[in-house]
Amino acid sequence: MVENFSQEFEDTMKDMYLIFKIDEQNYGIEIKYVIEIIGLMPITYVPNQEEYVKGIINLRGKIIPVIDARMRLLKPQKEYNERTCVIVTSINQFLVGIIVDHVSEVVVIEKEKISPLPQTYEKIEERFFKGVANLNDKLILLVDCETFVRPDRLTAF
Amino acid sequence: MNEIQKDPMFEIFISEAKEIVNSLERTFIDLKENNISLDAVASEALRLFHTLKGSSAMMGFNNLSKVCHKAEDIFVGVRDRKMIPKDLDEFILNMLRLVDFLNCQIGCLEGSEKSASNDNIEDILTELSKSLHEFVDDVNKKETRYCIKLFFEEGWEMENLRAFLIVQNLKNYVKILEYQPSDIENNMQSAEKIKKDGFLIVIETPMKKEDVLKLFENFAWIKNIKLNETLEKSVQDKEEYSNQSYINYTNKLINVNIEKVDKLIDLIGEMVITFSMIVQHPEIKGDENSGIKNLTIQMSKLIRELQEVAMSMRMLPLSSTFQRLKRIIVEMSTKLQKPVEVYISGEETELDKVLIEHITDPLIHIVRNAIDHGIESQSERLQKGKSKVGNIYINAKNSGSEVIISIQDDGKGIDKEKIIKKALEKELISSADDISENELFDLIFLPGFSTKEETTEYSGRGVGLDVVKNSIQKIGGKIVIESSKDVGTKFTIKIPLTLAIIDGMLIDVNGNIFVLPLNSIVETFRLEKTQIISENGVPLIYRRGLCFNIVDLNRIFFTGNMLSEVKQYYLGILVTNGEKSAVLLVDNMISQQQIVIKTLPAILKKIKGISGCTLLGSGQIAFILDIDSLLER
């Protein structure tokens, strides 16, 4: 019974992606990882972390780390503004917030429309992305949530 | 397997099974201690095995239920006096092995233990039946006296004659000693008496209680039967008493998943924070007259009480841990032929469940050491003019925000010469002269340090005391040894009451708030920059004739530069972990308060000097300083 339910639940989320933007580039993140989207809130700096780990926030009593997608993708830093938001994701039951320029929409991208990244792409990006999709002439890079969020030096968390 | 584990029924089964196995263990230990008669043990064990058999069969764990079934057979034999243990000690040891086996099986099912015990269950059971020998002798069957009080249904009348009928009927089955009122046959007045006070019969029979009750089933007009075994011997007195206590024990407890309790504590923590936000809200803060202030004071009292109750739900008494220790002592003393008397006190002392799990293994280790190394053999003890029976005292008590557990034996004590010799051999110390007693005893906590020449089944492999110390330190505890030759050894362990809440001092470093555990603070003072001496880049300070290292928190966590140019003075906080001390440089002290510890998210890299974080009343996050690792820098 429970199995059926979760199966169904998964089916409704299948092939759905949340689209967020950094500069003019669109990125897609599988909806099954996304818990909620919140506005930027005060971030407590945590010493001795990778640069892209901005710190931790208090999400209704839960303490979750936030990482800056911009810095994770080695893009130049930009001041946060009112459109900046945090995508709260749950990966292997760990909550992690991802700071992005802004989120735009939820779209369906069928498996057939996803193609692998071209060989010429830089190594670091190859790790972060599962593939690329062309939707209404917009190029969407699909984020591999697990490698994107996981610290580089740790193999498992 | 995973599917089974998710099943709430499975969880209930596991926790119930564990409880049953614990009760079994307790019962056998009681038998060993002569607190309880064999009969009582047999029926108690029978009851427990029966329950376990039923529930494990229901869950489909056939092996387990088969084992229980066999054990049941044995105890039916014991109860009905068809089997009598040849050697009671041997029997108890076997029973304890069976308990271990069950524990191991349940652990396997739960997935906490990787492989099943090598002990073959068939072996245990055959050995068990071997140690019992057939013993059928009806004459020897004990007659039990029962006191039966009957109340009759109203409206049937002629109670005296009905009572007489019962008496006549019973005579065929049991010996009737007396009944009251005794003149039922010819005195019609007795009917009224029976109506009011009931009818009392005293009988003697080898039958079991249940069978006696069955005798009365044929009489339709009986409304109510009260049946008591009349007590003949003091042993039975005890038996009755302990039976009673078992029942009370199980009735008062419910099993709750610890995650639910943790969730409750989390929610209350959030409530505290939200409430303090309400109180701080300008509209309420500014409003002095409307009585809201009184209400908020009342509310905060309630919330605090609620928090305390929730925290106490995580607390468990140490009794079951001590029970295990006692069991190990009993088992080892029989095997090593060193009779030992155990004195336990303070087992009602409560401790956080997680902490109890952490200290159980170290305590077991210490107790094993005490019997194996500490207590001498019987002849040796007699030579020294001690009593033949060794003594081990296990004690627990509350002291402030700590629990102190001590384990003391009256054995031969720790041989200091041996330690020194060994330490010199291993080049741990350079000379035997300038070493204090405390430092000396600290040596035996080093890895690979064992003074026992040969290893035994129980201890002496050199793995041990270092693990003991580590696991106690891990939960913020301390361990101290006192020992003198031929008088004995005493281990004292101090542990914080709970991991979840500490008293902390909020401090400000470069605009960031940190929490310093209050128990590590020695003193605070104003510190001029000129007082700091820098020797080879290592900042030091002299204070009251002592020299302390300086830990600049701002440098460690933020800038990386030593001592900013702008500031002329700091606040110095002298902290200690009992061994080392240092002075922390901070900008300001804010306030002192109780804080709820939260762990840092797992994907963050471990930060040296920070043990966790907490939420402040404002919703702000503050880091908790880890004094031990700060002092190691």
Residue B406, pLDDT score: 92
Nearest to B359 by CA among B351, B368, B349: B351
Give the mean pLDDT of B579-594. Answer: 84
Question: For residue B544, is it within any domain?
Answer: yes
Give the mean pLDDT of B327-345. Answer: 86
Taking the CA of residue A92 and the nearest CA in chain B, the distance in Å comes to 11
Q: What's the pLDDT tens digit per position in B214-235?
A: 777 767 677 777 777 665 443 3
In this structure, which long-range contacts are made by residues B217-220, counting pairs with CB atoms below 8 Å and at least 24 apart in sequence? B218/B169, B219/B162, B219/B165, B219/B166, B219/B169, B220/B153
Give the mean pLDDT of A28-33. Answer: 90
Residues 6+ apart with CB under 8 A from B141: B81, B206
Q: Contacts of residue A49 in chain B, CB cutoff 8 Å?
A: 604-605, 607
Clarify whether residues B118 and B87 are in a common domain: yes
* Chain position carrying tokens 């966590």: B557
Clarify whether residues B457 and B539 are in a common domain: no
Give the mean pLDDT of B408-433. Answer: 79
Contact pairs from chain A to chain B, CB under 8 Å: 65
Give the span between the Cα atoms of B210 and B227, in whole angstroms.
10
Question: For residue B44, is it within any domain?
Answer: yes
Give the mean pLDDT of B606-625. Answer: 83
Nearest to B606 by CA among A61, A74, A153: A153
Clarify whether residues B409 and B537 are in a common domain: no
Number of CB atoms found within 10 A of residue A102's CB: 14
Clarify whether residues B184 and B160 are in a common domain: yes
Is residue B151 within 8 A of residue B222, CB to CB? The reply is yes
pLDDT at B243 over 60: no
Is residue B451 within 8 A of residue B443, CB to CB? The reply is no
Q: Give CA separation, A48 vs A75, A152, B28, B558, B608, in Å.
A: 21, 14, 55, 9, 9
Q: Give CA separation, A95 vs A27, A79, B480, B486, in Å.
A: 20, 24, 41, 58
Question: For residue B238, is it within any domain?
Answer: no
Question: For residue B139, is it within any domain?
Answer: no
Nearest to B330 by CA among B19, B28, B20, B119: B28
Question: For residue B521, is it within any domain?
Answer: yes
Clarify whether residues B369 and B469 are in a common domain: yes
Number of CB atoms found within 10 A of residue B88's CB: 14
Q: Measure CA B564 to chain center.
A: 51
Question: For residue B376, is it within any domain?
Answer: yes
Clarify whether residues B369 and B270 are in a common domain: no
* CATH assignment of the domain containing B124: 1.20.120.160
Residue A63 sits at the chain B interface (C-beta within 8 Å): yes
Cross-chain Cβ contact B604/A60 below 8 Å: no
Clarify whether residues B456 and B431 are in a common domain: yes
pLDDT at B346 over 80: yes
Question: For residue B246, is it within any domain?
Answer: no
- pTM exceeds 0.95: no
**Least confident range of A10-24, B183-197, B312-326:** B183-197
Residue A18, pLDDT score: 92
Cross-chain Cβ contact A61/B605 below 8 Å: no
Residue B538, pLDDT score: 77
By a Cβ cutoff of 8 Å, what residues of chain B touch chain A? Answer: 266-267, 269-270, 273, 512, 556-558, 598, 600-605, 607-608, 610, 613, 615, 619-621, 623
B132-134 and B144-152 strand pairing: unpaired
- Structural domain boundaries, residue B519: 501-632
- The ipTM value here is 0.78
Question: For residue B108, is it within any domain?
Answer: yes
Nearest to B240 by CA among B230, B252, B251, B227: B230
Clarify whether residues B179 and B87 are in a common domain: no
Give the span between the Cα atoms of B169 and B153, in whole angstroms.
19
Helical spans, DSSP H, in B281-318: 282-285, 292-313
Give the span between the Cα atoms of A101 and A23, in whole angstroms.
7
State which of B293, B313, B333 marks the end of a domain.
B313
Residue B526's φ and ψ, nearest 5 degrees, are: -80, 140
Give the span between the Cα atoms of B106 and B15, in whole angstroms.
9
**Least confident range of B74-83, B109-118, B525-534:** B109-118
Give the span between the Cα atoms of B78 and B40, in whole angstroms.
10
Clarify whether residues B577 and B527 are in a common domain: yes
Give the mean pLDDT of A104-133. Answer: 76
Position A98 confidence tier, pLDDT thresholds 50, 70, 90: very high
Strands (E), chain A: 16-22, 25-30, 34-39, 53-59, 62-68, 85-91, 94-100, 102-108, 114-115, 129-135, 138-143
Residue A126, pLDDT score: 62
* CATH assignment of the domain containing B506: 2.40.50.180
State which of B297, B313, B329 marks the end of a domain.
B313
pLDDT at A87 over 90: yes
Residue A46 sits at the chain B interface (C-beta within 8 Å): yes
Give the span between the Cα atoms of B231 and B242, in whole angstroms.
14
Clarify whether residues B101 and B84 are in a common domain: yes
Clarify whether residues B303 and B320 are in a common domain: no
How many domains does the structure of chain B reveal? 5
Residues 6+ apart with CB under 8 A from A74: A124
Beta-bridged to residue B5, according to DSSP, are none
Residue B133, pLDDT score: 57
Give the span between the Cα atoms of B179 and B164, in whole angstroms.
10
Clarify whether residues B287 and B390 are in a common domain: no
Helical spans, DSSP H, in B370-464: 378-383, 416-425, 437-443
Q: Measure CA B507 to chain center.
A: 36
Is residue B194 within 8 A of residue B152, CB to CB? The reply is yes
* Chain position carrying tokens 């029962």: B146
Residue B244, pLDDT score: 41
Q: Contacts of residue A72 in chain B, CB cutoff 8 Å?
A: none
pLDDT at B554 over 60: yes
Residue B369, pLDDT score: 84
Is residue B538 within 8 A of residue B549, CB to CB? The reply is yes
State which of B103, B134, B165 marks the end of a domain.
B134
Beta-bridged to residue B586, according to DSSP, are B571
* Chain position carrying tokens 């409206």: B155
More confident residue, B348 or B461: B348
Residue A44 sits at the chain B interface (C-beta within 8 Å): yes
Nearest to A138 by CA among A27, A29, A44: A27
